[in-house]
Structure 1
Amino acid sequence: MSEPASIKASFARSISPALAVLSLITAACLIGPWLSPHGHDEVHRDYLLIPPSLAAHPTKAETEAALASIGQALHLKIAGFEITHSATASPTLRATFSADAPIDSRILRGFTGSDIFGEPHIIGQNEDGRRVSVRAPLRSMHFLFGTDANGRDLLTRVLVAGRISLAVGLLASLVALVFGVTYGALAGYLGGLTGALMMRFVEIVYALPFIFLVIVLTMVLGRGLALILIAIASVEWLDMARIVRAQTLSLKHRDFVTASEALGAATPAILWRHILPNAFGPIAAYLTILVPRVILLESFVSFLGLGVQEPLTSWGVLIADGARTIQSAVHLLVFPSLFLAATLAALNALSQDLRAFAGRGPGDAQ
């Protein structure tokens, strides 16, 4: 095998685990919410802070608690209840209510607002109407990651939050890439006083505290996804500009650039055809560092309550919610943290492989 082919094969083997993890997380976040039976903002009032489990809900205890709540709300006594199971149909509840006065058939309305019971039917009533039997199917539900304090399915919310975090990471990185590459290439190629003034502006923006900038933008734009994109992109292009400027300074005196200038090529053409293609390696390597940085920044801003607002959510928002309930519901913190950590670890591993590949020459093949 030739040395370039050996380098490519070694590179492909090294990045495959990171790409596999990223692909799996991305596919789960994109497709998972469509397959989930629960909406990310769907509230289940009978399932508050349910711990993660593979078992189906409702349990017998949950059914009994919901039935007792209905009886208390309607001022009825529960004379008895029974849950029957069938191999071909969902479990069914049969409950008998009693009262000191005749029971109105409108008691069925008490079941309609429950997440546990399906459509109820009266199947028996004594002559004086003080004793009524009701049958209702039980709605089988699964909450693999549990639920939050509002009874929302955590698995669906984690996957929807991943969409927001990954989208912010990608979009803000692309904005920083385009603006930073353009600005840095112009500053490096023009040089002289113009290039010096352009880089002084970069240093001034560097001196602004990030949180101060976020607060100012919050006052102007309000909280939301647009705020995060603008705030992160407005500071993350700075490093890219400095990297591209350094690469441009090292390339603009090369023979192929000098030849293009002698032939009368315009500055945009020289930058597009000669400077940027030869600086692609460092740019691509830094971009893989930039994406996890942006995702982490978004999580940090959302953790402070300055990020996306309900009904949207992100991993930072979920981690903040989990931190507030860590003593009573640790699963609210564990699952979004695991997704965020796995994404950042995969992106960091990918960036290390790309940096090593970009800095490896053909003679460095093992």
Structure 2
Amino acid sequence: MNEAFRNARSFAERLSALGLGAGGGSVQISLAILALIALLCLFGPLVSSHAYDRVYRDYVLAEPSLSAHPDAAEVALAIETIARRMPARIEALRVDGDSLHATLFSDRPIDARALRAFERSDVFSAPRIVETQDGGRRMRIDAPLKRTVFLFGTDANGRDLLTRTLIAGRASLAVGLLASMVALFIGVAYGAIAGYAGGRVDAAMMRIVEIIYALPFIFFVIVLVMAFGRHFALIFIAIGAVEWLDMARIVRGQTLSIKRRDYVVAAQALGATAPAIIWRHILPNAAGPIVAYLTLLVPQVILLESFVSFLGLGVQEPLTSWGVLIADGARNIQGAAYLLVFPAIFLGATLGALQSLGAGLLRRFDAKSD
């Protein structure tokens, strides 16, 4: 039994060294998912045929589909709308491939300039007059159709949901990374100083952390919005001003443990300054837990930004984030559930991958510490 256990443990160690164990596999899969989402959000809008803020008035709440728009019903609705504006009546209507053949009739001669309504439509391109009869009151036209595909459908304003989801990913990931970097720098510096100083300095600095912990985050965000207005940079300030607290406590704990090591005591005996010891000895040896917690901090910040945007205090139109899209989807869930599903999938996949990455790194660090 002991021999079998040793063999199994040796095999697991070899797998872990190759990155194929439970922790290694989860880390690799998480990195692959995050890389895929980041590439889609970064380059997807560049190759998309739809601008994130373009409004398709003829395709409001169009359902997700692999088929190109318009269909027969959309063509009929669009030309009826144009005919009423001209004003004219539709005598004949036929769709042949990518062209519309229609005959319009009016009680008065039809002004050819009224056909510009076709060009302003999202369904038709510039029409061609084939024939006019009855003194210009009857007109036959051919209008090419604009073929458009909405893989994720469109929102309540007629904007392409796929492009907006990818643009929202840029905003959410940017907030997550930048606010996490702010929390990293502040938390690491604060925690290292408090832990290395110890004594009354450490106690006073930790009491400040506890006081800030007691402040309601949403109240802090509302105060910033009332004082400075709604701005994208306020999200970084608000989230970064709160999320460094946990990082500071983690770094402080690591510093209290590391500063008692022999190499730190030797550096002190040789006359090394406190900043030099913190920079050269303490922080490099505390890098494992810091990096592991940072991967857990990013999803926490993204979720917090999504919650703030859900309340209407975060990213503002025409920009968007996953939180904003989820809020819009929640308002239209009965009639258009896809508005909630697609942004939620991207957000859930990102949060899950980051959580799995952080857990895998923590397992690796704990294994090395044993």
The bucket for the TM-score relative to the shorter chain is: over 0.9
1:173 aligns with 2:180: yes
Code of the residue aligned with 2:225 in structure 1: it is: T
User: 1:158 is paired with a residue of what secondary structure?
Assistant: helix
Contact 2:133 2:139 in 1 (8 A): yes
Q: 1:251 aligns with which of 245, 258, 261?
A: 258
Correspondence list, 1:288-303, <5 A: 288-303=295-310
Q: Which residue of 2 aligns with 1:313?
A: 320
Q: Where does the alignment leave 5 or more consecutive residues of structure 2 unmatched?
A: 1-9
How far has the Cα of 1:3 moved from its partner?
9.0
Q: Which residue of 1 aligns with 2:54?
A: 42
How far has the Cα of 1:4 moved from its partner?
7.3
How far has the Cα of 1:105 moved from its partner?
1.2
Correspondence list, 1:220-259, <5 A: 220-259=227-266
How far, CA to CA, are the matches of 1:248 and 1:315 in structure 2? Answer: 37
How far, CA to CA, are the matches of 1:327 and 1:14 in structure 2? Answer: 36
Code of the residue aligned with 1:101 in structure 2: it is: R
How far, CA to CA, are the matches of 1:173 and 1:241 in structure 2? Answer: 13
1:342 aligns with 2:354: no
Correspondence list, 1:102-113, <5 A: 102-113=109-120
User: 1:123 is paired with a residue of what secondary structure?
Assistant: strand
- Percent identity over paired residues: 59
User: 1:136 is paired with a residue of what secondary structure?
Assistant: strand
Code of the residue aligned with 1:54 in structure 2: it is: L
Q: 1:28 aligns with which of 11, 19, 40?
A: 40
How far, CA to CA, are the matches of 1:47 and 1:287 in structure 2? Answer: 42
Contact 2:24 2:360 in 1 (8 A): no
1:151 aligns with 2:151: no
User: 2:136 is paired with a residue of what secondary structure?
Assistant: coil
Q: 2:90 aligns with which of 54, 78, 83?
A: 78
CA-based RMSD of the aligned residues comes to 1.5
Code of the residue aligned with 2:319 in structure 1: it is: L
1:267 aligns with 2:279: no
1:351 aligns with 2:358: yes
User: 2:57 is paired with a residue of what secondary structure?
Assistant: coil
Q: Which residue of 2 aligns with 1:8?
A: 17
Code of the residue aligned with 2:362 in structure 1: it is: R
User: 2:135 is paired with a residue of what secondary structure?
Assistant: coil
1:329 aligns with 2:315: no
How far, CA to CA, are the matches of 1:283 and 1:219 in structure 2? Answer: 34
Number of aligned pairs?
A: 358
TM-score w.r.t. length of structure 1:
0.95
User: 1:258 is paired with a residue of what secondary structure?
Assistant: helix
Code of the residue aligned with 1:26 in structure 2: it is: A
Contact 2:118 2:127 in 1 (8 A): yes
Q: Where does the alignment leave 5 or more consecutive residues of structure 1 unmatched?
A: 86-90
Contact 2:191 2:248 in 1 (8 A): yes
Q: Which residue of 1 aligns with 2:63?
A: 51
Spell out structure 1 runs of 4+ moving beyond 4 A. Answer: 1-6
Contact 1:322 1:333 in 2 (8 A): yes
How far has the Cα of 1:13 moved from its partner?
2.8
How far has the Cα of 1:311 moved from its partner?
0.9
